[in-house]
Amino acid sequence: MHRRFISMALAVATATALTACTAGTQGAPALGSQPKPSGSGPAALPAGTIELWHGFSSPAEVKAFEDAVAGFRTKFPQITVKLVKGVQDEQITQAVRGGKAPDVASSFTTDNVAQWCNSGTFQDLTAVIKQDGIDLSVLPEVARSYTEFQGKRCAMPLLADAYGLYYNKKLMKGTTPPKTLSELTELAKKLTVRDADGDIEVAGFIPSFEYYENSASHFAPMTGATWYKPDGTSAIGTDPAWKELLRWQKELVDWYGYDKLNKFRKSLGQEWSADHPFYKGKVAMILDGEWRNAMIANEAKDLDYGTAPLPVADAKPELYGSGFTAGTVIGVPKGAKNPQAAWELVKYLTTDTSALVTLSNALRNVPTTKAALESPDLKKDANFQTFLDIFAHPKTSTVPASVNSAFNQDSLQEFLVKWEKGSVTDLDAGLADVDRRINDKLKLAGG
């Protein structure tokens, strides 16, 4: 699931392609357009073949998906399931446009959900969910929110990512993890080590928006910052929570010294390698996703670390325990040749506790139903439990679905890089310009 950093780059190109997604699928039956098979139970589904495209590619990931689908094959022996690995969003879009859509497709990012729903690239599941009596309250509200757009549910959540704080126990020396932004600032300064020239040798916490997982979306829940107004236009320039977040961040950047911090950041090991600076004791506290637990187990087995929710605004203690979440989504593309069987597979993978636990145990991502979160078969320790609790927290949030989701996040990111560098003299005016860019793009998209 840490492939979201790849998917974000693909989302912009995909969104452009989606707007023209109309051709080549008129002959395929639409989901819910045909009567439900007579009789009841799995045997009522006619024999056939369905093809599922997914983005997993490593041998362990592919095996995990095969193991999860094994239960479906037992339940529906008359259905042949063909799995195709390593597929990205743009390939799905092009296949739908060309009339060669798979029956089921999954994606590592939620950033294309609004476009898929809006364009019909993925079929609306509302009718079949109602037909089958599925109670969507088995999913946390935030997971329901990132798989629908304007009343159309064109995807279901498969697995989730949740973001929290990792801390090095040796460097912390018994200090408890911070719960507020002021505590984070104080501890970051206390744990930072500099040499005689003032260069950073160990950073307590790196506040730069250019550092690994420190995106605006991951930071926003710390102050409760919102992305959009009810009418879909940008709230970034008018929500005071953004200014609170950015002023806190800039004060800590300035304490380090932008040039010193940038020099230190560029000297660090790669995020997706055994040279990660958190493993090496170069950074005491980091923001990261639940998957880091599995990577530490593989790449830094002797690291003594703990996990906790991210610190929150001092005046908003009710936010503590929450965080940011997003994740893998799965649905039935337009033009699926066997949509009813495709839906049964989607339903199985996203609501069957055994299937979700199998995937979570193998991939170390968060399962997305309440039953799976509470399953005794789910492998978890204290460090992984932190992220299960964050995902289930009622105030955990995500970036709401928008037809320009990737563009909007990129626009803010561009501004944030200038902000922390000191190139922005007027924060209000800068954020208002971000609003303008986002809203102009929305008008072009017909919003």
What pLDDT, on the 0 to 100 scale, is given for residue 177?
98
What pLDDT, on the 0 to 100 scale, is given for residue 190?
98
What pLDDT, on the 0 to 100 scale, is given for residue 204?
98
Written as one string, the DSSP assignment of 23-91 is SS-TTSPPTTSSPPPSSSSGGGSPPEEEEEE----SHHHHHHHHHHHHHHHHH-TTEEEEEE-S--HHH
What pLDDT, on the 0 to 100 scale, is given for residue 11?
47
The two structure tokens encoding residue 120:
């019909």
Choose among 185, 245, 191, 235: nearest CA to 214: 245
Choose among 267, 273, 310, 309: nearest CA to 292: 273
What pLDDT, on the 0 to 100 scale, is given for residue 34?
63
305 φ/ψ angles, rounded to the nearest 5 degrees: -140, 165
46 C-beta neighbours (distance < 10 Å), count: 11
* Coil, helix or strand at residue 167: strand
What pLDDT, on the 0 to 100 scale, is given for residue 312?
98
The C-alpha angle 270, 272, 278, rounded to 5 degrees, equals 65
What pLDDT, on the 0 to 100 scale, is given for residue 446?
80
Asked if 285 and 173 touch (Cβ cutoff 8 Å), the reply is no
Contacts of range 57-65, beta carbons closer than 8 Å, 24 or more positions apart: 57/85, 57/86, 60/362, 61/362, 61/363, 63/362, 64/358, 64/359, 64/362, 64/363, 65/359
Asked if 73 and 79 touch (Cβ cutoff 8 Å), the reply is yes
What are the tens digits of pLDDT across the range 230-276? 999 999 999 999 999 999 999 999 999 999 999 999 999 999 999 99
379 φ/ψ angles, rounded to the nearest 5 degrees: -75, 125
Cα dist. 430→187, 224, 251, 433 in Å? Answer: 30, 20, 17, 5
- H/E segment holding residue 393: none
Q: How far apart are CA 311 and CA 163, in angstroms?
A: 11
Name the CATH architecture for the domain at 4-161+326-392: 3-Layer(aba) Sandwich (3.40)
What pLDDT, on the 0 to 100 scale, is given for residue 342?
98
Q: How far apart are CA 221 and CA 313, in angstroms?
A: 9
Asked if 181 and 313 touch (Cβ cutoff 8 Å), the reply is yes
Q: How far apart are CA 284 and CA 134, in angstroms?
A: 44
Asked if 200 and 256 touch (Cβ cutoff 8 Å), the reply is yes
Indicate yes or no: pTM above 0.85: yes
Q: How far apart are CA 175 and CA 218, in angstroms?
A: 24
| Residues contacting 53, CB < 8 A, separation 6+ | 84, 87, 91, 92, 95, 102, 104, 105, 106
Cα-trace Rg, the chain:
23
Query: What string of pLDDT tens digits covers the 447 residues of the chain?
Result: 444 444 444 444 444 444 444 444 455 778 876 666 655 567 678 999 999 999 999 999 999 999 999 999 999 999 999 999 999 999 999 999 999 999 999 999 999 999 999 999 999 999 999 999 999 999 999 999 999 999 999 999 999 999 999 999 999 999 999 999 999 999 999 999 999 999 999 999 999 999 999 999 999 999 999 999 999 999 999 999 999 999 999 999 999 999 999 999 999 999 999 999 999 999 999 999 999 999 999 999 999 999 999 999 999 999 999 999 999 999 999 999 999 999 999 999 999 999 999 999 999 999 999 999 999 999 999 999 999 999 999 999 999 999 999 999 999 999 999 999 999 999 999 999 999 999 999 999 886
| Residues contacting 31, CB < 8 A, separation 6+ | 123, 124, 125, 127, 128, 332, 336, 339, 340, 342, 343
**C-alpha neighbours within 13 Å on the C-beta side of residue 177:** 22
Domains 4-161+326-392 and 171-319 share a fold: yes
CATH no., domain 171-319: 3.40.190.10
Asked if 118 and 150 touch (Cβ cutoff 8 Å), the reply is yes
What are the tens digits of pLDDT across the range 80-91? 999 999 999 999
Asked if 212 and 265 touch (Cβ cutoff 8 Å), the reply is no
What pLDDT, on the 0 to 100 scale, is given for residue 40?
56
Q: Which residue has the tokens 């997971």?
A: 143
Domain boundaries, the chain: 4-161+326-392, 171-319
Which parts of 318-424 fold into alpha helices (H)?
339-351, 353-363, 370-373, 382-392, 405-421
| Residues contacting 186, CB < 8 A, separation 6+ | 178
- H/E segment holding residue 2: none
Which parts of 364-404 fold into alpha helices (H)?
370-373, 382-392
Asked if 324 and 217 touch (Cβ cutoff 8 Å), the reply is yes
